[in-house]
């Protein structure tokens, strides 16, 4: 799953949840895919060596490889998203860092924080939010539907463990 619970060293009763978007194509696979695509595009171009048709096909082949490279790089840049929830008995602090480095923060007393799941009506099915201090913030909207369901259960359990009734 593209999230991890951890406890900072030396901190009692503090848990940190870090979430990030799933990467289906690692960097090594990215290079192999672009190289493979380039090789496949070169097959018909090689047959045109020595003809004037080569100069008609070559720009389109190079443009296709360039567009593929740009699209995959853009996908990697957009995936540089992080959400970090620090949970202690007296506070919940959520920091979301966007791909451009902009940070958005939310903080609330963890006792009053309510974890909610919206099966319908959100931007994605089974939308998970944290509600408290007069605000409602999303968490893990980029996760898959099953991951959001699991995350919801883990968040409910974590908040309950921090503040036993």
pLDDT single digits (tens) 51-69: 988 898 899 999 999 999 9
Contact partners, residue 79, CB within 8 Å, separation at least 6: 20, 21, 23, 99
- With CA atoms as reference, report the closest residue to 84 among 114, 109, 105: 105
Q: Tell me phi and psi for residue 152, to 5 degrees.
A: -55, -50
96 in Cβ contact with 82 (< 8 Å): yes
4, containing H or E segment: strand 3-6
Cα–Cα distances in angstroms (integers) from residue 125 to residues 9, 121, 147, 162, in the given order: 36, 7, 11, 28
State residue 60's pLDDT score: 93
106, containing H or E segment: strand 103-108
pLDDT tens for 65-106 read 999 999 999 888 888 899 999 999 999 999 999 988 899 999
For the entire predicted model, the pTM comes to 0.76
DSSP 123: S
Question: Rounded to an integer, what distance in angstroms lies between the CA atom of residue 137 and that of residue 4?
Answer: 19
108 in Cβ contact with 87 (< 8 Å): no
């Amino acid at each position: 799953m593209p999230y991890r619970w951890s406890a900072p060293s030396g901190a009692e009763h503090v848990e940190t949840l870090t979430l990030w978007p799933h990467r289906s194509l690692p960097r090594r696979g990215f290079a192999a895919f672009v190289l493979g695509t380039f090789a496949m595009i070169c097959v018909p171009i090689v047959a045109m060596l020595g003809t004037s048709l080569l100069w008609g096909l070559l720009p389109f082949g190079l443009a296709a490889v360039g567009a593929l490279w740009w699209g995959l790089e853009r996908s990697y840049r957009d995936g540089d998203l992080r959400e970090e929830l620090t949970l202690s008995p007296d506070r919940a602090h959520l920091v979301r860092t966007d791909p451009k480095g902009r940070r958005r923060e939310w903080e609330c007393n963890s006792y009053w924080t309510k974890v909610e799941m919206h099966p319908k009506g959100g931007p994605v099915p089974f939308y998970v939010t944290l509600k408290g201090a007069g605000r409602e913030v999303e968490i893990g909207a980029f996760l898959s539907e099953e991951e959001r369901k699991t995350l919801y259960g883990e968040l409910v359990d974590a908040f309950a463990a921090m503040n036993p009734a």
